[in-house]
Structure 1
Amino acid sequence: MDLEKPPSPRPVEGCLVVAIRLPVRIVVLVLVVPVRMVWDALAAGGRVLRDAVLRPVGRALLWSAWAVFVWPWTALWRYGLVPLGAGLAWLGRALVAVPAGWAYRTVLTPLGRAAARVLRAIAAGLVRLHARVLTPVGRALALLLKGIGYVLAALGGGAYAVVAWLVRYLVVVPARRLHRHVLRPLGHGIAWLARGLAGLVGVVARVCGAGLLGLLNLLFVVPASAVWRWILAPAGRALVVLGRELGAAFRHAWRVAGHISLAAGRFLSTLFRWMFVAPARWVYQTVLTPVGHVLRDTVLRPAAHAARGVGRVVRRTSALVRETARQARADLRRMLFGDSGRPREVSRREPIGRETRTLGSRTTALTKD
């Protein structure tokens, strides 16, 4: 037994389809290549625009919207409405709930219990009244009404029998005879006549309908069938074949145009790299970098060393000026107010000028004084 599934046979295509396919694909390819290249360019530009402009702008707008709309309401809820609600809840509990509870416990509960006792006493009195007075009176009235009902029932039974006899022999029996001997034969005759007329009308309608259908078939159906069979069906099959071939040609041309667009894009990117990026890189590596190193070694570093030396001199000068001013203020206070006996503050900074500690000196900045 052959377990492999036989391949499905390919549909047999006519010579007209094969002859049309190649020119159609060439024309569609020529028309689709510019569209595909424009589409790829727009897609690349859209991606660049999305990554470089729209995302930062969207994030900035999102942050601005949060700062303008969300954060004020959050702050209002957190720092305004929540404390206000807590204060109102405490105020309502202090002004309403506590007094209402006190009134319920001390006023309404005793009044309710007293009213319940009064109502229970009234209900007990009503129960006794019902059991001792109303129940015996009701039973006596029930016996009296039952006796009166028996009397009226006896009188009414005789009257009902007389009326029923009169109605039967004066109304029912004549009406039954009239229906049996007059109305029923007349209805049967009318029904037979209506059935005959309906059959005649049906025969006439069938004959007229058959003739009308034959005429309509001859005038409309036969020409429409001929037009459909000999004109519309072949034209539809041709249009289906043409549409299928156009769709297949468009898909094939779109794929080929994609490869062509990719190759053109790579060629343009390579050309741009050779014409602009590689010369700029060569100029940067062979011209600007050595010039920058020379400027750094000959100009910028000496200038930086000189600037740092000037900064050190300025800092030392400013420190000397501050120290001189501090000593002058101390001497002025000592001259005006006298010495307070406090120990003299010893400057623990590095000596300035000629008193700077060197490698050959035996003193330090802390043991110099």
Structure 2
Amino acid sequence: MELEKRSPAGDPAEPRPRSDAEGCLAVAVRLPVRIVVLVLVVPVRMVWDALVVGGRFLRDTVLRPFGRALAWLGRAVFVWPLVGVWRYVVVPLAKGVAWLGNVLLVVPAVWVHRWVLTPVGQGLAWFLRGVGAVFAAVGRGLYAGLAWLARYLVVVPASWFYAWVLTPVGHALAWCGRGLAWCGRGVLWCGRGVLWCLGMIVTGVGTALYWIARVLLVLPALAVWRWVLTPVGRVLAVIGREVLDAFGHAWRIAGHVSRAVGRFLGTLFRWTVAEPARWVYRSLLTPVGHAVRDTVLRPLAEAARGAGRAARQALASARLSVREARADVRRMLFGGPAKARPVARREPSADEARTLGSSTTALTKD
């Protein structure tokens, strides 16, 4: 009977065994390897984080504005001139060339095709159809004559020669071939016996060589693999796994250390440079700037706006005077504009028109 109650399956209190059970070699290698790797990785991680921060600052402050300036300069120097040349030179020139080609080439070619080539082609087709019909009739006659001559000069003699000469000779040759086949079968059986004997000899020699190679080569190689290479490989695998794990842990720890150092340096920069500069800006420069703005800049701006307003009014009055003088001179030289003649209105006036309150109109009114 068990005195202790087992924890249920999946209980986090019960330690879960690793799939690869750790031995004393892994435990002995892990701590010194992690210490050495941590000492080596921390400076590298800090330098890496410093380079990353510097690269981001350089990208945001130098490279990105410089790239935007280069992009704008490229558009101004290359893209916009090319677009202007394409839009205002190449496209109108291409349209003009297309219109000229249509007028000088397409329209005459269509006219020639419709009114010259088409009638000529139809006439040639009609003539060729007639000539083809004549040649077809002549060809059918020649074919019939040649077929009759070939039948009685080639096919009939060839059939007689095949039936009375080639067939008897073929039968005789087939009888001789069957005899030779029986002889060949006997020779084949003899060859099979010889091959069986040779196969047995080769099989015995091969079996002997196989066992010799197995005893002299395979078994020693298998013993070396099993009792030498496999343990050494396992030891190297444990060491390599521990080194990789140590590098991972060291990189993460170095990241935390680098982040702490960066925060400390940031806080130090803030309290030694940023906060004093902010205090100077808020406590000294801002009041001085406001005083300069209120006592110097605003009066100067008001005076400049007043001077500009007076100059605009003077220019407007001078422009009006010049316009009036020009109108007087035109009136003195050419006279005033002609008055418009009054035109008789066909519609009744407002007094004579029909109103909503009476039933009379302009025609029936006394």
Task: Give the TM-score of the pair, scaled to structure 2.
Answer: 0.65
Corresponding residue for 1:227?
224
Corresponding residue for 1:301?
295
Deviation at 1:197, TM superposition (A): 2.5
Q: Residues 187, 283 of structure 1: CA spacing in aligned structure 2 closer, same or farther, 3 A cutoff? A: same
Corresponding residue for 2:63?
54
Deviation at 1:37, TM superposition (A): 0.7
Corresponding residue for 1:255?
252
Corresponding residue for 2:90?
81
Q: Residues 202, 160 of structure 1: CA spacing in aligned structure 2 closer, same or farther, 3 A cutoff? A: closer
Q: Residues 58, 284 of structure 1: CA spacing in aligned structure 2 closer, same or farther, 3 A cutoff? A: closer
Corresponding residue for 2:215?
218
Confirm or deny that 1:123 pairs with 2:130.
yes
* 1:118-152 alpha-carbon deviations (Å, 9 max, x no partner): 749x839967x96xxx79x959x969986996899
Corresponding residue for 1:205?
202
Confirm or deny that 1:10 pairs with 2:17.
yes
Q: Residues 259, 147 of structure 1: CA spacing in aligned structure 2 closer, same or farther, 3 A cutoff? A: closer
AA paired with 2:17? R
Q: Distance in 2 between matches of 1:311 and 1:155?
A: 129
AA paired with 1:246? V
Tell me whether 16-25 or 220-229 shows the greater mean CA deviation: 16-25
Q: Residues 185, 259 of structure 1: CA spacing in aligned structure 2 closer, same or farther, 3 A cutoff? A: same
Corresponding residue for 2:77?
68
* 1:292-347 alpha-carbon deviations (Å, 9 max, x no partner): 666x39xx83697589879989x99xx99xx9xxxxxxxxxxxxxxxx9xxxxxxx
AA paired with 1:123? G
Q: Distance in 2 between matches of 1:242 and 1:156?
A: 93
Q: Residues 123, 188 of structure 1: CA spacing in aligned structure 2 closer, same or farther, 3 A cutoff? A: closer
Q: Distance in 2 between matches of 1:67 and 1:150?
A: 93
Q: Distance in 2 between matches of 1:238 and 1:178?
A: 80
The alignment covers a number of residue pairs equal to 302
Q: Residues 191, 272 of structure 1: CA spacing in aligned structure 2 closer, same or farther, 3 A cutoff? A: same
Task: Give the TM-score of the pair, scaled to structure 1.
Answer: 0.64
Q: Residues 9, 198 of structure 1: CA spacing in aligned structure 2 closer, same or farther, 3 A cutoff? A: farther
Q: What 5-or-longer segments of structure 1 have no aligned partner?
A: 324-339, 341-369
Deviation at 1:254, TM superposition (A): 1.2
Q: What 5-or-longer segments of structure 2 have no aligned partner?
A: 1-7, 318-331, 333-366
Q: Distance in 2 between matches of 1:263 and 1:27?
A: 21
Q: Residues 159, 186 of structure 1: CA spacing in aligned structure 2 closer, same or farther, 3 A cutoff? A: closer
Q: Distance in 2 between matches of 1:102 and 1:189?
A: 90
Tell me whether 183-192 or 208-217 shows the greater mean CA deviation: 183-192
* 1:253-306 alpha-carbon deviations (Å, 9 max, x no partner): 111111111111000111122222223333444455556666x39xx8369758
Give the match's secondary structure for 1:13. coil
Please give the root-mean-square deviation of Cα atoms over the aligned residues, in Å: 4.6
Corresponding residue for 2:265?
268
Q: Distance in 1 between matches of 2:50 and 2:119?
A: 91
